[in-house]
Amino acid sequence: MENRKKEKKNPFLIIAAVVIVIAFGVIALEVIWPNLSGGKVSALSKIEITLDDDKYTVSDDDTVIIPAGRPRVPQIICEDPDVEVYQAFFPDDAEVATAQLRRGDESRTITFIKDESLGLEFQYDDRIQWAGDIPNAVYESSNPEIAKVSLSGQVIITGVSDEPVTLTATNGVETEEFTISRTVKAPIGIYFLTGQSNAAYYFADPETSDNTKKGTAYTYDISAGIYSVQSMNNEDGSQARGNIDAAIAKSLYDNLGEKVLIVNTGISGNSIDTFEPDDGVSYAFTKETWDNLQYILKTDWWQERFEENVRSYIWIQGESDDWELPESYMDSFLKFHEIMRSGMYGCDYGFISQIVPRFFRPNDAQERLAQGYDDIWMATRVTNTFSAETGELRSDNLHYTQKGDNIAGEDIGHTIAMVYQGFGYMLPEGEQDILME
């Protein structure tokens, strides 16, 4: 056996080695731990945020307590220009919603929670069915100018007030009360719906359309002779406006819980170059429609009842551009997109409903646009599967049936909702496909 001489260890070297190991350990923890614990949020947690309603505050654990019902959700204000803010939305019956702050790979979540102890709040034109337990009840409102109640117990918010309204149901023996603590302006999203005939109101079929809930969906369409903001529903709640307008509005409301105004500027048969701002007739119609609508949006009537929250445009076009080179199509589209995103119109995003694949040049251009620009999204590709044989296209194999409108509109609304909620990154190249049954 070989004998080896044992060397005496230097205690100073041992101490130095331990110090080095600890130092490397600290550095490793600083790098690895944020990824394991979600600690990347800590940097954003130091960013100062406020709310645009001083009745509410953000607690230390990043929660905000708001009234029950359909309250106005306080909007987050962040002065840091590098931070993207995605506000919270409450679909009907949701009790909890979240807002997101993003900066690079960092994120921070603010949670909004409804609490009935803060009262019961509703928005202008909300409709609530009061399902009381009293048989043969007669209903009354302490202030019908703020909230009125029908013979069947449907409550309609008719005004905006900080004063509470008490609703009473009685049959002379039993009495029940329902108190609304506050009514507020209705946050509303405005969406330009533009393009060719599949965007325009030419083939509407309200009887088979997706049904919007009365008090949630409105339309403005001067090509259809509608020069005022009108409900998409008749007085009895039945559908007055079909086409893809209603399907989009229903999907948006279902996903975001926010009222919707569709501004329709679609024109049949017009090619992409007519949407160029310089002298395009399609753009001129968009501008004329918007200019006319401004008179309404600036009235006291509108300002006292609605609060615009988001604004974007939805693009359904391309059938007239079969031979247009993709690069030329993109150039014309981007000119329209630039002015729609400008202060003149103030759109947050452009959402494309993709044209069917047989129009392969504009189809290709739309793919490139959605994949190449952060503010352009492919709202749906389900139209790629449409056909006359399966019932989504009419016999001309070009125009959507109401069935096709319903399918595409639902998907468009869902995609838009995901983008506004901050989950657009989860969509493959900015689009959301639903499975066709």
CA nearest 379: which of 403, 400, 355, 404?
A: 355
* pLDDT for residue 35: 45
Phi, psi of 39 (to 5 degrees): -65, -10
d(CA 373, CA 236): 43
Model confidence over 314-360: pLDDT tens digits? 999 999 999 999 999 999 999 999 999 999 999 999 999 999 889 99
In angstroms, the CA 61 to CA 111 distance is 9
Q: Which residues pair with 264 in a beta bridge?
A: 193
Closest to 216 in 3D by CA, of 239, 244, 193, 197: 239
For residue 8, what pLDDT is reported?
39
**Count of CB atoms within 10 A of residue 388's CB?**
15
Tell me what pLDDT residue 427 has: 86
Question: What is the predicted pLDDT for the residue at 308?
Answer: 97
Q: Please give the model's pTM, rounded to 2 decimal places.
A: 0.88
Positions in the chain whose pLDDT score sits under 70: 1-42, 429-437
Question: What is the distance in angstroms between the CA of the first residue and the CA of the last residue of the chain?
Answer: 80
Q: Is 153 left (phi over 0), alpha (psi -120 to 50) or beta?
A: left
Q: What is the largest CA-CA distance in the chain?
A: 110
Look at residue 133 in the predicted model and tell me its pLDDT.
79
Angle CA 216–218–221, to nearest 5: 165
Q: Supply φ then ψ for residue 298, to 5 degrees.
A: -95, 0
According to DSSP, the β-strands at 182-184 and 175-180 are unpaired
Give the pLDDT score at 39: 42
Q: For the chain, list the domains and their CATH numbers.
A: 42-117 (no CATH), 120-184 (2.60.40.1080), 186-430 (3.40.50.1110)
pLDDT at position 103? 94
Dig out the tokens for 19 from the structure.
Answer: 């110090």
